[in-house]
Amino acid sequence: MSKIEFTSQQKQAMSRELQRYLEDELDVEIGQFDADFLLDFITNKFGPAFYNQGLSDAETIMQRKIVDIADELYEIEQPSDF
């Protein structure tokens, strides 16, 4: 599996959101450094589960589309003696 990676801008934005959430909801203040470590922990521990669910959702959509295509091909099939 590919490692889940984000750009530095994405990581900064997500770390800021973690800081905001912890302060607003839990009345806990953490610095940027701690927020970065927390984000890395969440990404490493829970990221694969979200990633795998996304893959599963995409696979379900693709399977539905393949069935639709197969149905459409069947509809345009021409009768033939050969």
Helix axes 32-76, 8-26, angle to 10 degrees: 110
Residue 1 in this model has a pLDDT that exceeds 80: no
The residue type found at 35 is: A
d(C-alpha 47, C-alpha 69), whole Å:
33
Q: Which residues contact 39 (CB under 8 A, 6 or more apart)?
A: 11, 14, 15, 18
How confident is the model at residue 2, as a pLDDT? 79
| 45-60: average pLDDT | 96
> What pLDDT digit, counting tens, does each position of 4-52 carry?
899 999 999 999 999 999 999 999 999 999 999 999 999 999 999 999 9
Identify the sign of the CA torsion 7, 12, 17, 23. Answer: positive
Whole-prediction pTM: 0.75
Residue spans per domain, the chain? 8-76
